[in-house]
Chain A
Amino acid sequence: MVRQGPLRHLRRELFASRLDGLISVGLITAMAFLGLALLRWAVVQAQWAVIQANSTLLAVGRYPLDQQWRLWLLTTLLALASGLSWGLLRGLPRPDHPLRLWPRHDRIAVVLLVGLAVVLPLLLQLSLNIQMRWWCITGLLVLCRWAAGRWGQAIPRPWRRWVPVIWPLLYGAGLVLISGGLGLVRVAPSAWGGLLLTLLQASFAILLCFPLGVGLALGRRSALPLLRWGSVLYIEFIRGAPLITLLFLGQNILGFLLPGGLAPDRVWRAAWILTFFAAAYVAEAVRSGLAAIPAGQLEAARSLGLPLPQALIHVVLPQALKVALPAIVGQFISLLQDTTLLSLIGLLDLLGTARTVMANPAYLGKNAEVYLVLAVLFWCCCAALGLGSRALETRLNPNHQPAASR
């Protein structure tokens, strides 16, 4: 294919015929108009002082000031782990791929990431101190990504297989850092808020609803009638009720249902309800994946002598989860957005905190600024989830290979 200049390419894409040209001109005009209006509002009219003054509140709620270093430490650890995993996943050669330290998509991702880290704090006019911290953390992430891609091969294979274990360990460490214990001052869940609470609730529910959902999906297809009907009943009950009713219900009855100490306060009770809620939807997504796998796969595995659990783990589930991955991640994304309902049961998640800010007489009428920041924050989190899932999808596809000789 002859490479065309960008201008000719644009012309062919946008102005191929008279009608195309008309539509293109119309859309470009509309977008420019809207974009300029938004820009003018953001620069001239909007008063970002409300964000600037409440950035900490929106980020972590009423988390004690003198303990916030723990959250910075956690963010730094997360960045390091992300960089390491990213570098090992993408920077290493596969048998069918030549070694490339920075594939094209990764370069785009880095530029976006660095751009966000510089532009967002700058736009929000955070204090220079905080801005510098974000730059450093982003820099560390990129550095770690580069180092892992550059020298990852030097790590022996068996060691590399243990790298994913970093994540559950980090999650446990993160919970300790946030809530205290093990020598750290305790910070009660009622003091967690803002983005911290939102991400904590979402990640807790995502991590737990996944195995629970897989179990329910397998239960629904099980040959044992009690297991099957139990799963069906659970899934249909949960899917038949709005989350908000379940959240209110959970605040009242979860204390009786779960063994003592597992749901001691409102924050954890809400986290469990989110988990149980999302599990039913994940189960349906997984079930659709299971249905897509031909019966011959299980028969072949069983006729090789693999017992049912092993046949499921090694043969059926890897294929079914791959099929169900987009639907599952879709559930995770809506779960993340559903956490905003927590503000309705009185928890100070991102939306709840934002509402307290807007209720402050000092910032009356600054709703647009606050909501816009909220939308951008949510969009960033969801985009990250979506990008991660797409990367995983391509990676899991064995037919996605340059030299496929059919």
Chain B
Amino acid sequence: MTSPAAATSTTIAGAVMIEAQGVEKWYGNGYHALRGVDLTVHQGEVVVIMGPSGSGKSTFLRTFNGLEEFQHGTITVDGITLGDDLRQIDAIRREVGMVFQQFNLFPHLTVLENLTLAPIKVRQRPQHQVESQALELLERVGIHEQAHKYPGQLSGGQQQRVAIARSLCMEPRIMLFDEPTSALDPEMVQEVLEVMRELAKEGMTMVVVTHEVKFARQVASRVVLMAEGRVVEVAPPDQFFSNPQHERSKQFLGQIA
């Protein structure tokens, strides 16, 4: 079985994983959410997208796996160009994991079943094999004792770690994080960021929308600042935080400092 994704699996380090060009999006009410956004993400990179609320950063992130439609521009993910073809969207989604602000765990399934559902149904892998992999992943994120509980019995931080493990269970080549710590109580933020740090260390390609400056400083390969539906500045974290080039960036950093 050779999926389009498998064909590119031999790419060398630094190969382009996500390429967005001139992406424009209008919402149904006429609101111009994305106004010609370009971004290239290479393999193994951790790209952190920051920006004020309403800047379109989450919307932009969600176009990468087809959760948001866009009207102009092109997006190519792992060699597959996003188009109207639904099979291509499903192919991309198999290779791209996503972690949401609200966790979005399936409350009617146990933690273990949350992890194994997609690999069994989509990848058609045998149950026992998926289960042992899922338990390993849960151990990696530090919650294997909770495998048979339901999501509602876990803390927010634990739930988000389960959500990360659930995405990893599909063995994605890219991970998208949409404000993964914004809905968490402050004392639970670190345990989630720690898991994300580990993931970055292992070389996962990651695009992260977040407000965590410390995380961005330590982990990001590049920081992207978005405002009013445009990319304002792209820079390595050292440069971005200590010596921003654009007026809008300075203003934003001044506000969150």
Interface residues, chain A, with chain B CB atoms under 8 Å away: 95, 294, 296-297, 299-307, 310, 314-315, 318-319, 322, 396, 398-399, 401, 404-406
The answer to whether A304 and B117 touch across the interface, beta carbons within 8 angstroms, is yes
B35 interface residue (CB < 8 Å to A): no
The answer to whether A315 and B67 touch across the interface, beta carbons within 8 angstroms, is no
The answer to whether A315 and B106 touch across the interface, beta carbons within 8 angstroms, is yes
The answer to whether A299 and B107 touch across the interface, beta carbons within 8 angstroms, is no
Q: Which of A296, A314, A319, A396 is the one whose CB lies under 8 Å from B100?
A: A296
Stretch at the interface among B19-27, B89-97, B207-215, B225-233: B89-97
- Within 58-105 of B, Cβ neighbours of A (below 8 Å) are at 65, 67, 90, 93-94, 96-98, 100, 102, 104-105
Which residues of the other chain, B, contact A296 by a CB distance below 8 angstroms? 100, 102, 104
The answer to whether A314 and B94 touch across the interface, beta carbons within 8 angstroms, is no
Closest A residue to B115 by beta carbon equals A304
- Within 142-183 of B, Cβ neighbours of A (below 8 Å) are at 148, 150, 152-153, 155, 163, 166-167, 170
Which residues of the other chain, B, contact A399 by a CB distance below 8 angstroms? 150, 152-153
The answer to whether A299 and B67 touch across the interface, beta carbons within 8 angstroms, is yes
Given the known A-B contacts A304-B122, A305-B118, are A299 and B104 also in contact in the complex, defined by CB atoms under 8 Å? yes
The answer to whether A406 and B118 touch across the interface, beta carbons within 8 angstroms, is no
Which residues of the other chain, B, contact A322 by a CB distance below 8 angstroms? 108
The answer to whether A300 and B106 touch across the interface, beta carbons within 8 angstroms, is yes
Q: Which of B93, B102, B152, B155 is the one whose CB lies under 8 Å from A305?
A: B93
Given the known A-B contacts A300-B100, A303-B93, are A319 and B65 also in contact in the complex, defined by CB atoms under 8 Å? no
B128 interface residue (CB < 8 Å to A): no
Which residues of the other chain, B, contact A405 by a CB distance below 8 angstroms? 153
The answer to whether B106 and A306 touch across the interface, beta carbons within 8 angstroms, is no
Which residues of the other chain, B, contact A302 by a CB distance below 8 angstroms? 67, 93
- Within 107-138 of B, Cβ neighbours of A (below 8 Å) are at 107-108, 117-118, 121-122
B58 smallest CB distance to A (angstroms): 12
**Bound-complex Cα distance A315 to B108 (A):** 8
Which residues of the other chain, A, contact B90 by a CB distance below 8 angstroms? 305, 307
Which residues of the other chain, A, contact B153 by a CB distance below 8 angstroms? 399, 401, 404-406
Interface residues, chain B, with chain A CB atoms under 8 Å away: 65, 67, 90, 93-94, 96-98, 100, 102, 104-108, 117-118, 121-122, 148, 150, 152-153, 155, 163, 166-167, 170
Q: Which of A299, A319, A406 is the one whose CB lies under 8 Å from B108?
A: A319
A206 smallest CB distance to B (angstroms): 24
B212 smallest CB distance to A (angstroms): 21
Which of A300, A322, A405 neighbours the largest number of chain B CB atoms within 10 Å of its CB?
Answer: A300
B198 smallest CB distance to A (angstroms): 21
**Bound-complex Cα distance A401 to B148 (A):** 13
Which of A303, A306, A307, A401 neighbours the largest number of chain B CB atoms within 10 Å of its CB?
Answer: A303
Which residues of the other chain, A, contact B98 by a CB distance below 8 angstroms? 300, 303
The answer to whether A318 and B67 touch across the interface, beta carbons within 8 angstroms, is no
Closest B residue to A295 by beta carbon equals B104
The answer to whether B108 and A318 touch across the interface, beta carbons within 8 angstroms, is yes
The answer to whether B100 and A299 touch across the interface, beta carbons within 8 angstroms, is yes
**Bound-complex Cα distance A401 to B152 (A):** 11
Which residues of the other chain, A, contact B105 by a CB distance below 8 angstroms? 300
Q: Which of A303, A398, A406 is the one whose CB lies under 8 Å from B107?
A: A398
The answer to whether A297 and B104 touch across the interface, beta carbons within 8 angstroms, is yes
The answer to whether B121 and A306 touch across the interface, beta carbons within 8 angstroms, is yes
The answer to whether B117 and A294 touch across the interface, beta carbons within 8 angstroms, is no
**Bound-complex Cα distance A319 to B152 (A):** 14
Given contacts A303-B98, A401-B150, 5 further A-B contacts (CB under 8 A): A294-B102, A296-B102, A303-B65, A304-B93, A305-B170
The answer to whether B118 and A304 touch across the interface, beta carbons within 8 angstroms, is yes
Closest A residue to B101 by beta carbon equals A296
The answer to whether A304 and B100 touch across the interface, beta carbons within 8 angstroms, is no
**Bound-complex Cα distance A157 to B65 (A):** 38
A294 smallest CB distance to B (angstroms): 7
The answer to whether B104 and A300 touch across the interface, beta carbons within 8 angstroms, is yes
30 A-B pairs in the complex with CB atoms less than 8 angstroms apart: A95-B148, A294-B104, A296-B102, A296-B104, A297-B104, A299-B67, A300-B98, A300-B100, A300-B105, A300-B163, A303-B97, A303-B98, A304-B117, A304-B122, A304-B170, A305-B90, A305-B93, A305-B94, A305-B118, A305-B170, A306-B117, A306-B121, A307-B122, A310-B122, A319-B106, A398-B107, A398-B152, A399-B152, A401-B150, A401-B153
Q: Which of A300, A303, A314, A406 is the one whose CB lies under 8 Å from B121?
A: A314
**Bound-complex Cα distance A305 to B89 (A):** 8
Which residues of the other chain, B, contact A406 by a CB distance below 8 angstroms? 153, 155
